Amino acid sequence: MSVNSFDELLSIISQRIKKQDTNMRRSITPAERLAVTLRYLASGATFTDLEYDFLISRKTIPFIVTETCQAIWQELAPLEMPTPNKGKVVDADYCFTFIDVGAPGREGDSSIFKSSNFGQKLTCSQLDLPEPAHLPNNIGKPPVPFVFIGDAAFGLNKNVMRPFSLRNITTPKKIYNYRLSRDRRFVECAFGILSNRWRIFHSSIMINPLSAKHIIKAACVLHNFVRRRDYQFEDTIRWYDDMEEFDGVQAVGGRSCGIAVRDSFVEYFNGPGAVPWQNRMIH
């Protein structure tokens, strides 16, 4: 994070984390509180390491980190992660537009998605998605709905596309899988950039679950904040081009509509929507 971005962030959250001096001691300043928190998120350092770096008690640091992360989320979320009004979850600039934090780690991606606020709104058609539209140059074909892209762990429906199983797969379906993986790389890269920038994610977060939730939310919104100001990652997606698919949980609910939509994309990617290199990439 650049100095200018640090100063901007400090000006945004300082009133939320500022403490009063007392007759007994000077309070820890907002700048110190923010610096400790950012070091913790960016390095994944232990509270003992931070105690030596900042000369602040390791018993105090967890409270500072949790409180500052709450302030970061409360102030930045409306600015950097406003409620999506057209259904985006990760945009083409690798920024998050919606997150859902706090599901138990033992649950699978599909079940977490279905039980999340976002998943429930999608199921109930409450996401204000755009109306179905015609694919470019797809003359004479019916419009298709706007879709989200998931991996094989997600169920197939008219608004969620997943890859085909690799068993007995045909060439047109391989091309569809390849095109899907190219688009999904934006999501995968967003998480890669997040974890490389905020190394707190490189190991278990040794703190209580509620504080961990605040930490994760703060890191995600800081990812957007920093990305839009300080860094460009133009070469981070190349290694996803040949990503292999895997067979996962079978689809549930709305499968017949999802199959029809997916078949429309298969036909399009092998027809008017084909790109010159796609056949080379699947062999």
| Three-state DSSP state, 90 | strand
The pLDDT tens digits for 200-232 are 999 889 899 999 999 999 999 999 999 988 865
Higher pLDDT, 169 or 91: 169
pLDDT at residue number 248: 35
For strands 148-149 and 160-161, give the pairing: parallel
| Three-state DSSP state, 255 | helix
Higher pLDDT, 231 or 63: 63
Residue 245 pLDDT > 50, yes or no?
Answer: no
Mean pLDDT over the full length of the chain = 85
Predicted TM-score (pTM) of the model is: 0.78
φ/ψ of residue 221, rounded to 5: -75, -30
Residue with tokens 């509270």: 47
Report d(CA 163, CA 152) in Å as an integer. 6
Percentages helix, strand, coil for the chain (3-state, rounded to 5) are: 50, 5, 45
Contact between 179 and 279 under an 8 Å Cβ cutoff? The reply is no
pLDDT at residue number 52: 94
The pLDDT tens digits for 107-131 are 777 788 888 888 888 888 777 788 9
pLDDT at residue number 136: 92
Contacts for 77 with CB less than 8 Å, ≥ 6 apart: 217, 221
Residue 174 pLDDT > 60, yes or no?
Answer: yes
